Structure 1
Amino acid sequence: MATTTSGTAGSGTTGRLRRDVGFWGLLFVSLGSIIGSGWLLGALTAATVAGPASLISWILAAAMLTVLALVHAELGAAYPVAGGTARFPFFAFGPLAGFAAGWMAWVQAVTIAPIEVEATLSYTSHISWVESNVTILHTDGTLTGVGVLIASVFMALFTIINLVGVKLLAHTNSVAVIWKTMVPLLTVVVLMSLTFHAGNFHAGGGFAPYGAHGVFAALPAGVVFALQGFEQAIQMAGEARDPQRDVSRAVIAAMAIGAVVYLLLEVAFIAAINPADVAHGWANPVGKGDFGPYATLATAAGAGWLATILYIDAVISPAGTGLVYVATASRLSYAMGHERAIPSHTARIDRRGIPWISVLLAFVVGEIAFLPFPSWQSLVGLVTSATAIMYAFAPVALHALRLRDGDRPRPYHLPAWRVLSPIAFVSANLIIYWSGYEADWKLGLTMVFGLVVFAVTRLSTPMEERQALHWRASLWVWPWLGGLVLIGRLGRYGGGNTIADWWDLVVVAVFSLVVYVVAVRSAMTSQAVSDAVTVEERTEFDPEATAAGAGA
């Protein structure tokens, strides 16, 4: 395998990423991110918020995220660089917009690994032997000292695998993903064959006991969190052996498989519940505080052996996702360091082609996340909103790049892109709105902190090495984010109720379309876009450095 060692001027790198990952490796990276703790806990959370109508929540989320996945598929194949979600906006709107997208992407990615670990510990803490011998969680769901120690072991293992090399990461993840996909499907088959209470689909107040509000509220409560992750193949595109061919196929296939699996899981979950437990509502369908819903249902159905497998999977599934997100977070901070949006040391690459400082940074931030913060369910809304902000940059970047860089070969073309691209942007903004004002204003503060880091980094960079800000091209970003926080405060999901039901969705959609048009028109000139892309191609995407041998 060939790999270059020439550094990028001013980037702080010591080499290039190694292109070792094939189609199956990319597919498993995305699918492994989609099937994590979300399948273990997402169905229960969605059902308590929306009842049987949570099925609509899964279908709606799958439709919205599929459109966003198709947008990312075109961008990832046309611009195969590491940390793509941070760099597509950079190509179209310059460093400020690229940083805003990259910072949100990094915030959600770097916190998902510890969240997945906490999900594992929450699930396994209810195993009788564990409960009798080890106290992992406090009563409020936060980790005890022993819990933090166990969680740190998981994070250390993720870090070591990532430091060894991308091929080991891909192979390790591939084995985990095969298991992670088979166990949910086995669970569906067993539960639906042993116990299927059709009456549950209209019990406890009817099919939609909490109305449309419950359907929408379920999205940030765990549904979108479960389905997100398709973009991981794009984040790893800088290490793909044949990115133009494989990235789009991996993204689309992973999204399709994940959506089908989750929908079947929700059907099986609802049908397997004891009818007496939902006769009067969906607040506690499998028992208050039960973090092992499928294991509980399997035991009740007489399939204790399946419960054992599920508890094993409670370690493997979230751990596999956490492993991938350490890699993702490190590629995003690598990308931002490469662009000098954060200290360039994060872009340093070792002889194995690994951004090792960025990997260690992901470990440190993951450890901080184990401090007494809210439980899994409380954090998913915040992560979902951050993910949706990251996703929202892609449609406007695609439209702008189609206009400014239209001659670029695009192995995958988004069909009806002039229609689907704005729909994708509106979809992302609706997810942000449904996440609630509480999550949105906290992310606003997080963005302010990020901008301080950006400013300090820029001031410490020699003048001759600073990139032009193109600040006019990114002016739309701040009214957009501020407007979403304001609408969230006035809407039903922020407690304001100033904007009437359904009209709030109209307001979000209209506001999104106005921002979309302004953003596309504000993009950098064709020459500036060409210059930005050319620099990236010259310094990172080097087809001659592609590995010739078999990859993952």
Structure 2
Amino acid sequence: MATATPVATGNQASSGHLRRDVGFWGLTFMSLGSIIGSGWLLGALGAAQVAGPASLLSWILAGAMLAVLALAHAELGATYPVAAGTARFPRFAFGRLAGFVAGWASWLQAVTITPIEVEASLQYLNNIEWVKSHLHLLSERGTLSANGLIGATVLMLLFTVINIVGVKLLAESNAAMVVWKTAIPVVTVVVLLTLTFHGGNFTAGGGFAPYGAHGVFAALPAGVVFALQGFEQAIQMGGEARNPQRDISRAVIFAMLVGTAIYILLEIAFIGSLDPRNLVTGWAHPVKAGDFGPYATLALGAGAGWLAYLLYIDAFLSPAGAGLVYVGTSSRVSYALGRERALPAALGRLNSRGVPLRTILLAFVVGELAFLPFPSWQSLVGLVTSATAIMYAFAPVSLAALRRRDPERHRPYRLPGAVVTAPLGFVAANLVIYWGGFEATWKLVVAIVLGFVIYQATAARTPRVDRSRTDWRSAVWIGPWLAGLTVIGFVGRYGHGARLYLPEWVDLAVVVAFSLAIFFFAVNVAMAGGRVKAAVEAETGGATDQREFEPA
């Protein structure tokens, strides 16, 4: 693994190190800008259709589950402040192969989210009558038309240029957009709760929980977790933070708290502002099909036309802003994998400005290819949610292993009650994968197997003197873990491919028991302490004190 010094100042680009130009607010806005994307515009509607008013419980449950995972990431990010931490933490604990699997899952979800957000922006634009009649961004099937592909390409090029210029411009551009993206949902909540609120909606259409506990759980992969994900962006930029040990954990926690609070309030405002006549026959169509987003429709119904116009603008800007951030994220992950020689080494090089140019261009190319099969925002939300959950699952098990194998490391932030909360975090991630359904799980496993083929091909082409140990023994738990989740999904109760063999609630008990068994097995087979410390020091240049991470 290539060595990186912990301090990266403005003149370090020429020596091949990432520039540490991002402060606390830049890190916070990276995470918050990812949390508030297309999910806020469509998440409440999707959750209500699956769970009814009990979708409020879905948001609270998802917030609690992701909070545990966010806190685990906060400790790891502050303790090991490196670029693309979601790939590096498992590398430190379980070796090169585990780091690749985690990094590959991270890259799959990040590189896919950008085109999803871009297409969400264009789908909203196409609802404007002038755009629909003159530009025709969407075909009759809902896929991008020729004009739509041109518009998507223009957005991808804009995001690419901003990322190429450097992380400072990326952080500043994102910060300005996040202020707007946060203000509009808050204003929407205040206006809808003030002008139109029907308390009876919370028991309409079959009662508070018309679809029972199954609906509450099914809403999580239907858009709730997708909306709340993104807190890890501050972690991914850890290699470019000015004071990572002080700022990363605070940025992650603050962004998660703000994002969760906004989404819960949005769901309350959405349900309370619906026309009660639309709920007489249930929650399948709480707003008219084809309306320009649920909140714009509700704002018009409440007589707040000015808010509707702001929402029209935000319907383009919010998804676009999230897409901008994820270009940066996916490029950092593939950059980290390139440095590890888990992917071609050319991806692990920086240009003279300290920017991973090749990986940014790779994100652009993959994003362009991804536009072709995506018919709608919802089409890959479940798949991306499961990929994100796999990525998140590596954090608590890595934290437990690193605390045991690297106990003397200074930890500016510590996960409270980690003996209990770390395994709970792993269980939470596995439940999200299970609720996502068998179809999403097996497709992701196939994608990971494909990535493993690329990993092996890269290793075969790497000179023997430059190869790192694969660490098969420390990664032996990953195969049974993913295979077991696939089998449980197949015999479980969620998704189109499920066989319903497991009774309700018994299925959840099986997932919990299986997750705990894998968790403790994984912690026990982690690399020895000496090898963990060597891996960390090779990446950080031996830096263990906060002062060593501060800019010169």
Same fold? TM cut 0.5? yes
| Contact 1:32 1:173 survives alignment (8 Å) | yes
Q: Which residue of structure 2 lines up, in the alignment, with residue 98 of structure 1?
A: 99
Name the structure 2 match of 1:447.
Answer: 448
Distance 1:395 1:365 in 2: 30
Alignment of 1:214-229 (within 5 A): 214-229=215-230
Corresponding residue for residue 320 of structure 1: 321
Cross-structure match for 1:12: none
Decide whether the 8 Å contact of 1:110 with 1:366 is kept in 2.
yes
Could you tell me how far apart the structure 2 residues matched to 1:95 and 1:248 are? 25
Residue 73 of structure 1 corresponds to 74
Distance in 2 between the 1:392 and 1:81 partners?
A: 19
AA partner of residue 463 (structure 2): P
Deviation for aligned residue 1:130: 1.5
Structure 1: how far apart are the matches of 2:394 and 2:144?
35
Unpaired segments of 5 or more residues in structure 2?
1-8
Residues of 1 paired with 2:535 and 2:136: CA distance?
53
CA distance in 1, matches of 2:242, 2:329: 17
C-alpha distance in structure 2 between counterparts of 1:229 and 1:197, whole Å: 32
Distance 1:22 1:320 in 2: 19
Q: Secondary structure at the match of 1:290?
A: coil
TM superposition shift of 1:540:
9.8
How far apart are 1:384 and its partner, in Å? 0.1
Letter of the 1:524 partner, please give it. Answer: M
- Does the aligned pair in 2 maintain the 1:230–1:254 contact within 8 Å? yes
Give the secondary structure class of the aligned counterpart of 2:12. coil
SS where residue 68 of structure 2 aligns? helix
Amino acid at match of 1:169: L
CA distances 1:359-397 after superposition (whole Å, capped 9, x unpaired): 000000000110033321121000000000000001110
Measure, in 2, the Cα distance between the counterparts of 1:48 and 1:384: 18
What is residue 114 of structure 2 aligned with on the other side?
Answer: 113
* Counterpart in the other structure of 1:497: 500
Q: Which residue of 2 aligns with 1:10?
A: none
Q: Which amino acid aligns with 1:275?
A: P
In the alignment, the residues of structure 2 paired with residue 251 and residue 544 of structure 1 have an alpha-carbon distance, to the nearest angstrom, of 22
Match of 2:541 in 1: 538
Aligned length, in residue pairs: 541
**CA–CA separation in structure 2 for the residues paired with 1:140 and 1:511:** 41
In structure 2, how many angstroms separate the alpha carbons of the residues matched to 1:320 and 1:280? 37
User: CA shift at 1:139, angstroms?
Assistant: 3.2
Give the superposed CA RMSD.
1.4
Partner Cα distance (1:4, 1:545) in 2? 14
Equivalent positions of 1:351-370 (< 5 A) are: 351-370=352-371
Contact 2:245 2:549 in 1 (8 A): no
**CA separation in 1, counterparts of 2:530 and 2:383?**
38
**Native 8 Å contact 2:181 2:314 kept in 1:** yes
Return closer, same or farther for 1:545/1:93 CA change in 2, 3 Å cut-off: closer
Change (3 A) 1:491 1:171: same
1:250 aligns with 2:246: no
- Measure the CA separation in 2 of the matches of 1:243 and 1:521: 29
State whether residues 19 and 545 of structure 1, in contact with CA within 8 Å, keep that contact through their aligned partners in structure 2: no
Q: How far apart are residue 135 of structure 1 and its match? A: 1.3
Give 1:244-393 correspondences, 5 Å limit: 244-393=245-394
Q: Distance in 1 between matches of 2:68 and 2:549?
A: 33
Report the Cα distance in structure 2 between the residues aligned to 1:256 and 1:5, rounded to whole angstroms: 35
- Residue equivalent to 1:43: 44
* 1:416-455 map, 5 Å: 416-455=417-456
8 Å CA contact retained: 2:29, 2:175: yes
Write the distance in 1 (CA, Å) between the matches of 2:368 and 2:326.
14
User: Are 1:143 and 1:372, in contact at CA under 8 Å, matched by a contact in 2?
Assistant: no
Deviates more, 1:366-375 or 1:60-69: 366-375
1:108 alignment partner, SS class: helix
1:54-92 superposed Cα distances (whole Å, 9 cap, x missing partner): 000000000000000000000000000000000000000
AA at the equivalent of 2:321: G
Whole-angstrom distance in 2 between the partners of 1:544 and 1:80 = 11
Gaps of 5+ in 1: 8-14
State TM-score, norm by structure 2: 0.96
Kindly indicate whether the alpha-carbon contact (under 8 Å) linking 1:201 and 1:207 is maintained by their aligned counterparts in 2.
Answer: yes
Give percent identity, aligned residues only: 64
